C-alpha cells in the first residue's frame, strides 16, 4: 500500500513539475541597469528626434519617428554595435553613446541633445489596488492634450519601458503612464480581467487630470493590443475626450485563439475541410478556458479522439489550443487554474464600442498574426457606418505592433521596423484631433471621419 501511495505522490509531483513549466508566468528580464543613464529622447543637429529606451535584458532600443528601429549593445571595450529591428542581422547605422561617466552621443553622424520633460510621480487608487503612475508634460504653461497610456497584456512596468512617455511630450502631448496592477511598483496580482483593468484606466484618467490641473486640455486613452478591449469599457466609466486603439481586436479573446489556429493551418498548407475541423477543436478548447478549467473536458476529449490523428493536428498552436490538446483532463483540472489570470474570455467588445460617442481612432495591422484582423475590420467598419466619430485606418503588410517584417523561406517572420507614418498618425490625431490630408506612409483610411 505504501509503495502505491509513493508512486501516486511521485506521479503527482511529476505532473506538477510539467504543469509548472507549461504554465509558468512569462516575465521579461529587467533592463540592464548600466544603460539607464542613456535612456531618453534626443534632438539631432539635423532636427530629427531619436528615442533610446531600455529593453528587457542587455542593451537599448532606438526609434526614429519614421519607424526605423534597432537594438544596440556596448561591448567590454566600450564599442556600440547594433542589429536591425528585432532581428539578429547586423545594423550598419552608426551609433555611439559613450559611457555614463563620459557621454558622447552620435547617431548617423549627428550629435544629439537629450530633451528634458517635467515628470511628476504619483500613487493612486485603482479598483482595490494602489497603482504607480507618472505624468510627463511638454514644455510650456498652456493646456495640452494628454494621453493616458492603457496597457496591453505585458507583465512589465510601463513606467520603465513605455517610449511614448517621451515621444508624445516631444510633440506637444502630455502622457500619463502607470504600472498595471501586479507589475512594476503597483500592488496586487497581475490580471487580465478587463473590467478591473477598465476601472484602473478610468482612475488613471482622473488622476492625470488632477495632476495636470490647468494644463489639462483634451484627456483621453491611447494603447495597443489588449487595450482595444479595455479602453471602450473605461470610456463608459469615465469621460475621456478621445479613444485611440492600435492593433486591437473587435472580437472576443476566444476568437483570437480561433483565428490564430486557422492561420497556423493555412501557413502549414492546410485549407478547406481541415479549417472546419480545427474550428471544432478551438471551440472545444475555448469552452474549457471560458469555464476556468471547470467544464468542457468531455467535449475536448471527443474532438481529440475524432481528429487527433489528422495530419493537420500538430500544426495547431493558437493562443492556447496547441497547449491544451497536449494534456489530459486531470492535468487541466489540477493545474489549469494556476495559469488563470482572470481573463474575460467571453467578452463581447461590440456593445462598449457602439456606446463610445467620443472620437475613436482604430489602427489595424493588416497582416497581424497575433490578432488576425479580418473579423475586426468588418465589425469596426459596421460601427463606423453608424457613428461618424469612428475612424478606421489600416497599415497593410504589418504585424502586431504595426511592425513591418521580412518572411523567410520557412515562412517565419522577422520584425524589422515600425510602419512609416504610424507615429505621425498617432501624434496628429491626439494632438490636433484630426488626421492630415497627406498620406501616412502606405496607410489606408478605411473609414475616415
Q: What is the total count of domains within the chain?
A: 3
Statement to judge: residues 333 and 399 lie in one domain: no
Q: Are residues 278 and 297 in the same domain?
A: yes
Does 22 map to a domain?
Answer: no
Q: Are residues 220 and 358 in the same domain?
A: yes
Let me know if residue 12 belongs to a domain: no
Flag whether 312 is in a domain: yes
Q: Residue 352 sits in which domain range? A: 118-252+346-447
In a domain, 4, yes or no: no
> pTM higher than 0.85, yes or no?
yes
- CATH number, residue 362: 3.40.50.1820
State residue 8's pLDDT score.
42
> Do residues 152 and 270 both lie within one domain?
no
| Of residues 98, 105, 101, 85, the one with CA closest to residue 41 | 105
pLDDT of residue 78: 85
Query: What pLDDT shows up at residue 9?
Result: 40
Domain shared by 248 and 298, yes or no: no
Q: 60, 92, 114: which is the final residue of a domain?
A: 114
| Residue 195 located in a structural domain | yes
Q: Give domain status of residue 164, yes or no.
A: yes
Query: Which of 306, 322, 339 is the last residue in one of the domains?
Result: 339
Instruction: Please check whether residues 110 and 129 belong to one and the same domain.
Output: no
Q: Do 361 and 335 reside in the same domain of the chain?
A: no
Per-residue confidence in pLDDT tens, the chain, 449 aa: 544 444 444 444 454 454 444 444 445 567 778 889 999 999 999 999 999 999 988 999 999 999 999 999 998 888 999 999 999 999 999 999 998 888 899 999 999 999 999 999 999 999 999 999 999 999 999 999 999 999 999 999 999 999 999 999 999 999 999 999 999 999 999 999 999 999 999 999 999 999 999 999 999 999 999 999 999 999 999 999 999 999 999 999 999 999 999 999 999 999 999 999 999 999 999 999 999 999 999 999 999 999 999 999 999 999 999 999 999 999 999 988 887 888 999 999 999 999 999 999 999 999 999 999 999 999 999 999 999 999 999 999 999 999 999 999 988 999 999 999 999 999 999 999 999 999 999 999 998 87
The answer as to whether 50 is a domain residue is: yes
Answer with the one of 284, 306, 339 that is the final residue of a domain.
339
Residues 393 and 369 in one domain: yes
Q: Quick one: 353 and 440 in the same domain?
A: yes
C-alpha cell at 165: 512617455
Amino acid at each position: 500500500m505504501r509503495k502505491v501511495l509513493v508512486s501516486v505522490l511521485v506521479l503527482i509531483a511529476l505532473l506538477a513539475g510539467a504543469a509548472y513549466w507549461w504554465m509558468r508566468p512569462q516575465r521579461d528580464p529587467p533592463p540592464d541597469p548600466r544603460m539607464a543613464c542613456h535612456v531618453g529622447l534626443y534632438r539631432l543637429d539635423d532636427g530629427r528626434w531619436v528615442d533610446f529606451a531600455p529593453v528587457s535584458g542587455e542593451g537599448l532600443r532606438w526609434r526614429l519617428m519614421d519607424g526605423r528601429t534597432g537594438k544596440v549593445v556596448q561591448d567590454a571595450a566600450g564599442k556600440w554595435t547594433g542589429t536591425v529591428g528585432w532581428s539578429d542581422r547586423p545594423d550598419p547605422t552608426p551609433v555611439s553613446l559613450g559611457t555614463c561617466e563620459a557621454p558622447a552621443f552620435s547617431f548617423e553622424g549627428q550629435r544629439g541633445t537629450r530633451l528634458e520633460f517635467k515628470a511628476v510621480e504619483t500613487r493612486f487608487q485603482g479598483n482595490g489596488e494602489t497603482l504607480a503612475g507618472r505624468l510627463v508634460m511638454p514644455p510650456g504653461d498652456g493646456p495640452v492634450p494628454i494621453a493616458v497610456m492603457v496597457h496591453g497584456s505585458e507583465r512589465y512596468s510601463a513606467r520603465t519601458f513605455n517610449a511614448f512617455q517621451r515621444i508624445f511630450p516631444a510633440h506637444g502631448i502630455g502622457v500619463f503612464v502607470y504600472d498595471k496592477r501586479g507589475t512594476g511598483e503597483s500592488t496586487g496580482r497581475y490580471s487580465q480581467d478587463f473590467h478591473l483593468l477598465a476601472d484602473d484606466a478610468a482612475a488613471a484618467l482622473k488622476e492625470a487630470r488632477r495632476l495636470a490641473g490647468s494644463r489639462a486640455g483634451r484627456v483621453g486613452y491611447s494603447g495597443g493590443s489588449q487595450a482595444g478591449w479595455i479602453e471602450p469599457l473605461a470610456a463608459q466609466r469615465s469621460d475621456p475626450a478621445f479613444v485611440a486603439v492600435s492593433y486591437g481586436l473587435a472580437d472576443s479573446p476566444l476568437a483570437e485563439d480561433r483565428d490564430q489556429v486557422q492561420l497556423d493551418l493555412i501557413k502549414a498548407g492546410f485549407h478547406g475541410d481541415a479549417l472546419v475541423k480545427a474550428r471544432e477543436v478551438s471551440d472545444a478548447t475555448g469552452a474549457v478556458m471560458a469555464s476556468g478549467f471547470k467544464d468542457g473536458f468531455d467535449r475536448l476529449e471527443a474532438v481529440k479522439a475524432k481528429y487527433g490523428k489528422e495530419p493537420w493536428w500538430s500544426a495547431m498552436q493558437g493562443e492556447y489550443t496547441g497547449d491544451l490538446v497536449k494534456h489530459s483532463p486531470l492535468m487541466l483540472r489540477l493545474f489549469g487554474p494556476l495559469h488563470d489570470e482572470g481573463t474575460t474570455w467571453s467578452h463581447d467588445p461590440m456593445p462598449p464600442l457602439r456606446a463610445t460617442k467620443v472620437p475613436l481612432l482604430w489602427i489595424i495591422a493588416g497582416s497581424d498574426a497575433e490578432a488576425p484582423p479580418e473579423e475586426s475590420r468588418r465589425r469596426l467598419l459596421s460601427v463606423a457606418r453608424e457613428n461618424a466619430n469612428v475612424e478606421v485606418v489600416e497599415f497593410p503588410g504589418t504585424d502586431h505592433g504595426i511592425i513591418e517584417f521580412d518572411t523567410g523561406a520557412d515562412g517565419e517572420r522577422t520584425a524589422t521596423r515600425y510602419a512609416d507614418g504610424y507615429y505621425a498618425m498617432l501624434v496628429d490625431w491626439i494632438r490636433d484631433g484630426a488626421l492630415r490630408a497627406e498620406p501616412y506612409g502606405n496607410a489606408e483610411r478605411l473609414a475616415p471621419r
